[in-house]
Amino acid sequence: MSELPADLVRTLAAVVDEGSLDAASRLLHITPSAVSQRIRALETAVGRVLLVRSKPVAPTDAAGPVLRYARQLSLLEHDALAALDGGDGRTPAIPLAVNADSLATWFLAPLARIAQRQTVVYDLHRDDQDFTAGLLESGTVMGAVTSRAEPVAGCRVRTLGSLRYEAVATPAFAARWFPGGVDGPALETAPLIDFDRRDDLQTRWLRARGADPALPPRHRVPASHDFAVAAGLGLGWALLPRFQAAQPLSDGALVALGGPVVDVPLYWQQWNLRSPLLDAVADEIVAEGRRVLSPAGSDAPA
């Protein structure tokens, strides 16, 4: 095909964002039938199926480039109108991906500073730092905090720093499960807390201490704040970001278990698209990351 009609790609993005054709029709002020016709026309034009008609609807892999184009078009339109006459009254939405621990600790502050200076809303997608880059590839988000140093196609990368974790437990938990010290045999019986089934931080720390990570019983608490609360209640030992552990360690509510810290390098990736708004958001995030995270190497090549 020779072109991607703007009204069709915007309709695809609206359906994906809203989760259904009916919801997209209300957003676009057209009938659900018109939405369906636009999607069929776009799929015919590109020769690919772009939507799985589930509840909610889901984009296919082929929809990724089209969604990215739709979001870039919307952002460029906002920037152009803002430069010409102050905008068209619509509030731009910036979809971003971030890992749970960054979201719970340092990530919101730079977003708030931008929102104080200009009108913008954020559509935040939370996922493990090893998987947020996939949301860039699919066109779901414009920027992401990720553990991936290599740039996603069409994106540029900047180093943020490392999120540093240390093993902690309550004094009562340590007294019960580690009376003779935090050694391999004790660690193989003491309950621990994982974020979810993809969380391998505790596993990595156990291996470094010479313990078999297959043996300890594991709780799973898939929310960063609740994860820290669970550790503070003595449900198990866990690796917490220093942001979350510093105060309870100082207060004596938690004790450090020793052993190696675990550093998770983080990077900021964003579309390689020059947009004053997206660049302002990115600069604020990168500055905050470099201020509060543990230092890590230099910027990865774009």
Return the pLDDT at 256: 97
Mean pLDDT of 160-170: 97
Kindly list the distances between the CA atom of residue 150 and the CA atoms of 67, 74, 107, 266, in Å, as whole numbers in the listed order.
22, 27, 22, 12
Return the pLDDT at 300: 43
Whole-number Å distance between alpha carbons of 51 and 43: 9
Identify the structural domains of the chain with CATH numbers, from first to last: 1-66 (1.10.10.10), 163-263 (3.40.190.10)
% of the chain at pLDDT higher than 90: 72
Higher-scoring residue by pLDDT: 214, 3:
214
Cβ(264)–Cβ(294) below 8 Å? no
Whole-number Å distance between alpha carbons of 237 and 204: 14
> What pLDDT band is residue 203 in, cutting at 50, 70 and 90?
very high
Return the pLDDT at 302: 36
Mean pLDDT of 95-106: 95
Using the CB atoms, write b or e for 143-164: b if 16+ within 10 Å. Answer: bbbbbbbebbeebbbbbbbbbb
| Residues in the chain, overall count | 302
- Three-state DSSP class for 232? helix
Q: Which two tokens stand for residue 187?
A: 């660690």
Mean pLDDT of 44-63: 89
pLDDT higher than threshold 50 for residue 58: yes
Q: pTM value?
A: 0.80
Of 74-78, 139-143, 179-183, the least confident = 74-78
Least Cα distance to 288 among 157, 103, 116, 148 occurs for 103
Kindly state the DSSP code that residue 167 receives in the 8-state scheme.
Answer: E
> What pLDDT band is residue 182 in, cutting at 50, 70 and 90?
very high
pLDDT higher than threshold 70 for residue 298: no
What SS3 string covers 61-115?
CCHHHHHHHHHHHHHHHHHHHHHHHCCCCCCCEEEEEECHHHHHHCCHHHHHHHH
Return the pLDDT at 12: 94
Cβ(218)–Cβ(194) below 8 Å? yes
Return the pLDDT at 297: 45
- Strand 218-220 relative to strand 238-241, pairing: unpaired
Whole-number Å distance between alpha carbons of 222 and 196: 5
Omega of the bond prior to 95 within 30 degrees of 0, cis? no
pLDDT tens, position by position, 234-272: 999 999 999 899 999 999 999 999 999 999 999 999 988
pLDDT tens, position by position, 131-159: 899 998 888 899 999 999 999 988 999 99
